[in-house]
Amino acid sequence: MSNFVSATELRDLLTSETPVRVIDVRWRLDRPDGREDYLAGHIPGAVFVPLATELATHGEPSDGRHPLPSTATLQDAARRWGVNRGDVVVAYDDAKGVSASRAWWLLRQGGVDVRVLDGGIRAWTAAGLPVADDDVQAEPGDVVLDEIGGDAISIDEAASFVDTGVLLDARAPDRYRGEHEPFDPIPGHIPGALNVPMAAHLDAEGRILDTHTLQATFAALGVTEGTPVAAYCGSGITAAHTALVLDEIGIEAKVFPGSWSQWSNTPGRPVAVGDQPG
């Protein structure tokens, strides 16, 4: 079964007898609070999810910008969204699946049947489907989550990952090369990491590419079924999208949630620059 649903598939799910909870996870680096966009128009019945407080927590700079929430925090949030045991959760955003994939990654670890709306809110409206402008407050749910964190690796595990597997850097190429770093104190990448930006997995409308194309992209980096693979990005959000795409083609991947924001704020960590792994 695919991790993605199309706009029409979601419409059909919502009119079926399947219990579905839709969550709006609008968040972008340039607009981290997406509530205003949510209120301007969202999928009817969707609950807004503030990524920074419910899909992440806060810590010291050396913890990274988006440390993982505790299982209890995530469970409380999911119940606030109205998620009940056995529900299907569909997450969407307006950023080509970046923030929705963070919800997918966390909830999947918690044992939830979770999908991502392919193409996000733009695909929904492009299909001529209706939007609402209310602030949905769901009846509290009763979901019980499994312990999360098992699909994450620590900063030390990230440092040694290239010894036994493939470490992928999901940031834009100029950030990987160290030519441009708008958020973190040091430019560059983790030595040994290979660059595969998120855009490589999507078409012009932000929808996931076909399986054959995705497999070819990753095979060129030495990632095939059975390859130990982990991904990082700037702060652990986009890397979850890489894990989502890999899972879609049958490859399990870990995520380094601290990502470059943790690495670059931790004294003594080596840094590579340029277009080679280093």
The pair of three-digit structure tokens given for residue 76, joined into one six-digit string: 């409380």
Question: To which H or E segment does residue 24 belong?
Answer: strand 20-24
The rounded distance, in Å, linking the Cα atoms of 70 and 241 is 20
Instruction: List CB contacts of 153: < 8 A, sequence separation 6 or more.
Output: 161, 230, 254, 255, 256
Q: Can you give the three-state secondary structure of 46-71, one letter per residue?
A: CEECCHHHHCCCCCCHHHCCCCCCCH
Answer yes or no: are the C-beta atoms of 266 and 62 closer than 8 Å. Answer: yes
Answer yes or no: are the C-beta atoms of 256 and 68 closer than 8 Å. Answer: no
Catalytic residue among 170, 233, 240, 245: 233
Active site residue 205: no
The rounded distance, in Å, linking the Cα atoms of 240 and 100 is 9
Question: On the CB side of 212, how many CA atoms lie within 13 Å of its CA?
Answer: 0
Which residues are known to be catalytic?
A: 233
